[in-house]
Structures are given as C-alpha cells and as structure tokens.
Amino acid sequence: MQKDTIERPYTCEECGSSFIRKGNLKSHIRTHSGEKPYLCEVCNASFTNKADRERHVLIHTGEKPYSCEVCNSSFITKYHLKTHMLTHTREKSFSCEECGSSFIRKDHLKSHSQIHTGEKPYCCELCESSFTRKDHLTSHMRTHTGEKPHSCEVCDASFTRKDHLKLHMRTHTGEKPYSCVLCGASFAQDGPLKRHMQIHSGVKPFTCEICSKSFASKSNLKVHIHRHMVDKPYSCKLCDSTFIGKHNFQSHMETHTEDKAYQCKVCGSAFLRKHNLKLHIRTHTGEKPYSCLICDSSFSQHPHLKTHMKIHNREENDKKTEKQK
C-alpha cells in the first residue's frame, strides 16, 4: 500500500482531517457549518467554494473543456478526464496487501481495505447504522431528514442521491446504455441486463419452497408465490375482478374507460395506450426492429423475439446433453 508522505499542517478541529493549504481547510470547515456562500446566478444553487460553483456553471453552458485524445469523450473537469484516461490504460497502481486486488484510485483501495478490517468509521447519531464511507453516511442521513437535494429539471422528481437522479433522467432521454450481446435488448441499468442474461443462460436461481419451481428473477418468484397464497390484493371497484399485481390491475381498469385517445391514422383503429398504437403501426409499416443474432429472423415485438430465442436455447441444451452421453 502506498504511503502518503505529503505534509498536511492545517487540521480540522471538528473531525481531524488535515490539509496542505489553509484555503482547503477553510472550504472543508464549511462542510460542518453548512455555509455555502457561492451562488449560481442561473439556478441559485449554492456551493461551499468558488471552484465548485465554476464547475457547476459549465452544466448550464454545456461546455466540456477537457477532451480525451484517444476517443471523442469530453469532460467538465480535469479530474474526470484523468479518471477516464485510466479506462484506456487500465493502469491499477494501488494494490491491496491482503488479497492482491488492485485499483485505479487510492480512495477505492481505502474503501476496499475496510472489507478486510470490518471497519465502519462513519456512524449515524440517530440510529445504530455505520458505514465504511462518509458519502454513504451522508446519503443515509437523508432517510432521517427527508432531504432530497438532487432535483430533475424536466419534472418535479427529487432524489437523495445523485446517481439515482442520473438513472431517473434516462426515463426522459430514453438512454439505455446496457445492451445484450445475444439479442440486442437494451436497458437503462446494469441490474436488469444481468437478469435478462439469465433468459439466455437458462439459469433460474430463485426456487419456490412450496412447489420447487424455479425462476430467473426474484420478482417472478414473488408473483408465483402469490398464486399459492391465493392473495389478490388489487380489487376492481367497478366489477368483481381481483389481481395479484398492480400492473395487471391498472391494465384492467383501462377496460372500463371508453377513452381510446391513441388513433391510427392509416386505418382508424384506436387504443388505450400509446405503446399499443406503436405496436399496431408496425403492422402497416412492416417494421421488425427486434432481430435474432443467431439466425436471420426478425420480429415486430420484443416478446416474440424472446419466445423465438427459446428455440435456440433448447437446441444449445440438447447439444450439451448429447455431448454428455
């Protein structure tokens, strides 16, 4: 583990953190006092130091002055560019003496080391929770205060964490950066892609304790268990129908309304949902955006591609069984 030999003569009396420059200590003290004297003239956001405000202003201007010479990526700060460059070099100069794991950044190594020591130095004063990182404690404290400082500029949604806001923004932009290499399906988050990959692998790690049936996802198992319990918590007040899931209940409620706001300009067919109209239009255009990467088949709807992929999965499993004989 690399030693920090730089002298840090300016120490915070509140928490013991030390700094090279007096100005850095002064800015740090504001994290305890809550003082944010630097205001953004565009949106009134406030900051503890001038540099943070200047970086924030670039969000409004769209300026990204730091560019990567290897690819076309550009960044608001020099630090973000420096971190990005490590993805090209893959240099991991900080190594764990305990298990040999290596990291791009020193703070990542420090956080990792606490796995071995079990140390959780950041404690909540309101409950018994403790954390390995200060930012995790900060996020946790918001569960007590109800504070949601990260707001969406498109709608009124607000979030306790910046990464949650980032994920939310994809519902507006439609960005789905995580793609399946087998069928082309794309997702806004890494987790749903991992669950999706289980469809191709055939792995079903979630097993029902009542009937031993297995499922690829925990949510599917939960729906299945409801069927054993005959628990249908969602009831229609207009008829006697009951439903296990909220989504099915909401779909059912639309059958009671005669308002079909989405109409096809080609044939006049009307639909309750915009999504259903979009699927219908493909019957006129012949569009089949979901393609199988194994054969040349293509489909107008993703569920049809999923059903088709099961044919290839069965063929692959049959080949494995044949080899084992």
pLDDT per residue as tens digits for the range 106-128: 878 887 888 888 888 888 888 88
β-sheet bridge partners, residue 263: 270
Mean pLDDT of the chain: 80
Q: Supply the pLDDT for residue 1.
A: 42
Helices (H) and strands (E) in the chain, counts: 11, 22
At 90, is the pLDDT very low, low, confident or very high (cuts 50, 70, 90)?
low
Over the stretch 28-75, which tens digit does the pLDDT of each residue have?
Answer: 888 888 888 888 887 777 888 888 888 788 777 778 888 888 877 788
**42's tokens:** 């565009």
- Is there a contact between 145 and 159 (Cβ–Cβ < 8 Å)? no
The DSSP bridge pattern shows strands 38-39 and 298-299 to be: unpaired
**283's tokens:** 């019957």
Arithmetic mean of pLDDT, 132-138:
82
Q: Supply the pLDDT for residue 3.
A: 45
| 178 or 3, greater pLDDT | 178
Can you say how many angstroms the Cα of residue 123 is from the centroid of all Cα atoms in its chain? 26
Classified as helix, coil or strand, 190 is helix
At 324, is the pLDDT very low, low, confident or very high (cuts 50, 70, 90)?
low
Over the stretch 261-307, which tens digit does the pLDDT of each residue have?
Answer: 788 888 988 887 788 888 888 888 888 888 877 777 888 887 788 77
Question: How many CA atoms within 13 Å lie on the side-chain side of 170?
Answer: 13
Q: Supply the pLDDT for residue 2.
A: 46
pLDDT beyond 50 at 176: yes
At 321, is the pLDDT very low, low, confident or very high (cuts 50, 70, 90)?
low
Rounded (5°) CA angle 128-130-135? 130
Kindly state the DSSP code that residue 150 receives in the 8-state scheme: E
- Is there a contact between 221 and 215 (Cβ–Cβ < 8 Å)? yes
Kindly state the DSSP code that residue 200 receives in the 8-state scheme: H
pLDDT beyond 70 at 81: yes
Cα distance from N-terminal residue to C-terminal residue, the chain? 51
Show Cβ contacts of residue 260 under 8 Å, excluding neighbours closer than 6 positions. Answer: 270, 271, 272
| CATH code of the domain occupying 1-63 | 3.30.160.60
Angle between helices 302-324 and 190-201 (to 10 degrees): 50
pLDDT beyond 80 at 323: no
What are the Cα distances from residue 285, in Å, to 18, 266, 274, 278, 289? Answer: 66, 10, 17, 11, 11
Helix (H) or strand (E) holding 18: strand 18-19
Show Cβ contacts of residue 119 under 8 Å, excluding neighbours closer than 6 positions. Answer: 132
- Is there a contact between 273 and 261 (Cβ–Cβ < 8 Å)? no
pLDDT beyond 60 at 98: yes
Residue-wise over 282-321: b if at least 16 C-beta within 10 A, else e?
A: eeeeeeeebebeeeeeebbeeeebbebbeebeeeeeeeee
Q: Supply the pLDDT for residue 230.
A: 66
Integer Cα distance of 272 and 262 in angstroms: 6
Q: Supply the pLDDT for residue 5.
A: 66
At 231, is the pLDDT very low, low, confident or very high (cuts 50, 70, 90)?
low
What does the domain layout of the chain look like in residue ranges? 1-63
Kindly state the DSSP code that residue 271 receives in the 8-state scheme: E
Backbone angles phi, psi at 110, to 5 degrees: -60, -45
Over the stretch 245-254, which tens digit does the pLDDT of each residue have?
Answer: 777 787 788 7
